[in-house]
Amino acid sequence: MDAPTLNLDEPPAPYRILARKYRPASFEDLVGQEPMVKTLSNAFDLGRIHQAYLLTGVRGVGKTTTARILARAFNYELPARDGKPAVVQPTIHMPELGVHCQAIIDSRHVDVIEMDAASHTGIDDVREIIDNARYRPVLARTKVYIIDEVHMLSKQAFNGLLKILEEPPEHVKFIFATTEIEKVPVTVRSRCQRFDLRRVEADVLIGRLAAICAKEAVAIEPEALALIARASEGSVRDALSLLDQAIAHVKGSLKVEVKAEDLRLMLGLADRARIIDLFEEVMRGDIGAALAALKALYDAGADPARVLGELAEFVHFVTRLKLAPETAQDPAVTEEERRRGAAFAEKLSIPVLSRAWQLLLKGLQDVRDSQRPLAAADMVLVRLAHAADLPTPDEALRRLMQQAPGTSAAQPMRANAPVGATSGARTGLGAAATKPAEAQTAADPRPRLARFEDIVALAASQRDIQLKIALERDVRLVRFEEGSIEFALSPGASPQLAQQLMRRLQEWTSRRWMVAISSEAGAPSLSEQAEAAAAAALVGVRADPLVQRALAVFPGAEIVGVRSNEAEPAEKPAGEDIGYADTEFNEDDL
């Protein structure tokens, strides 16, 4: 048999990316959106077809694809043949391509108008839609307007759509797609049937990717599929784009082997086992080993921000394992993650995990903003390691309140230290190292606050001048007991003063205070009392005959203040300034 000859004159078929090649053409091919498909199927079967639809969801979950499938369903038409009756009415049951289907799928049908609202935002574009909507479709049964990223329309454009959306011609349907539903006015949303397209679950996405790999004759490890599903975050388009990139990353032949290690190199991800090792080292307080592990991951191509992100994901996974063990059935999770995550979930407490999550979340933003991401990531690990053995605020407060007089404050505050490691370990994975009892005081460190004035003095001693001024100026006391304060606010006072005072008192006194704002009038504030006392003192001084004679001797003089002699020094050095303020008057002199 002769070998086939190549036709050099025939140009090769252009390559189609996987996201377009395997784009669903019917609702049967659409994965992960079963609630929407069921609702639309029932609506078409009952003939209850709405005039406008609003599709919302994150990128790559099928909004534009669903819009085109709906356009097909509105205009599905199949001539009678082979004894089968013709289909001349809207239906979502489309076992084969109809008269208009291919043109709609290719986005070239004259009666299915797709508009990108990001580049057509004005009222003039909407006027064109309104003018053209009056005319009947040229070829199909229904004229369909698909407006993508509809939230980008201007306010005038949205207002221009309201009338035609409420009462459109019978031959016109509208389909809107958006990723930011909150930016669409409620007047538009109320005129549409809204469908929220969900992120595709990891197991469904893995199954879809595996089927496409089989059609493309691509061998791929299950762990690699799980990595793609996790990295795509529920977006089918992102998953197919990553799969396309992975196939090209390994080699260009049709028969390739895509491994998990190839995916990690391509995406800059760290080996999951090494991430878990890093987490254990940090929580054990072995900061030297943790920094070395991070440097090794960085040298292997892992991005420091991604490493911290994966650490945060593992903390979240361990937390969910502790609270909801059924989470371990997630197909995107490896067997090693399940086994070691379960061990951490048994030994680490929820406060420790919550604090690690907060530190990683804050540190992740620092790394992204830093000019030196590796150094910033190092410092995040240092903070996390040194914070792991600290008691949580509620534990510290509980220990302080439970300590009787004479009990050393140096006793371990973590009675239920997590994962048992070697004695003297510095973190939540080992027993907390105790401090020498001789270095601690047996006295109760909490201040005693018997009056409201004591709280003002405490704020001054803590150098919280803003709070001190607010307490003196804005608090009209109604009721005071140690541990409980009730007051009214002066006009113009901050409504957050009660919450601020409660937090500060708990911080300063290591006990819980109840601070409430009352509807009663309350006593005058400390500032008002001081002003009233000063005014009364001035009135009394002005009434004194000696002062009146002094004012008569010095026309235009005013009394600006009254001071007590008790605070003055007993003797003044010779030559110190002497003036009218220090002159004493006798009645005979006047």
Query: 373-387 vs 350-369: helix axis angle to the nearest 10?
Result: 160
Segment 491-538, tens digit of pLDDT: 888 888 888 888 888 888 888 888 888 878 888 888 888 888 877 777
pLDDT above 70 covers a percentage of the chain that reads 80
Residues 269, 273, 276, 278: is their CA dihedral positive or negative?
Answer: negative
| Residue 545 reports pLDDT greater than 70 | yes
How much is the average pLDDT of 557-583? 51
| Residue 147 reports pLDDT greater than 70 | yes
How confident is the model at residue 408, as a pLDDT? Answer: 45
Residue among 486, 494, 485 nearest 520 (CA): 486
Strand stretches in 102-204, DSSP E: 112-116, 143-148, 172-178, 193-196
Residue among 322, 298, 321 nearest 308 (CA): 298
How much is the average pLDDT of 148-169? 92
Please, what are the domains in the chain?
Answer: 18-196 (3.40.50.300), 202-267 (1.10.8.60), 272-387 (1.20.272.10), 452-527 (3.30.300)
| Cα–Cα distance for residue pair 56/71, rounded to 1 Å | 17
Confidence tier at 92 by pLDDT (50, 70, 90) = confident
Confidence tier at 564 by pLDDT (50, 70, 90) = low
Instruction: Determine the 3-state secondary structure of 420 from DSSP.
Output: coil
Question: How is 57-124 classified by DSSP, letter by letter?
Answer: -STTSSHHHHHHHHHHHHT--B--BTTBPPB-S--S--SS--TTHHHHHTT--TTEEEEETTT--SHH
| Residue 3 reports pLDDT greater than 60 | no
How confident is the model at residue 269, as a pLDDT? Answer: 65
| Residue 590 reports pLDDT greater than 80 | no
Q: What is the DSSP letter of 484?
A: E
How confident is the model at residue 285, as a pLDDT? Answer: 84
Give me Rg for the CA atoms of the chain: 38
How confident is the model at residue 375, as a pLDDT? Answer: 92
Residue among 514, 535, 534, 529 nearest 476 (CA): 529
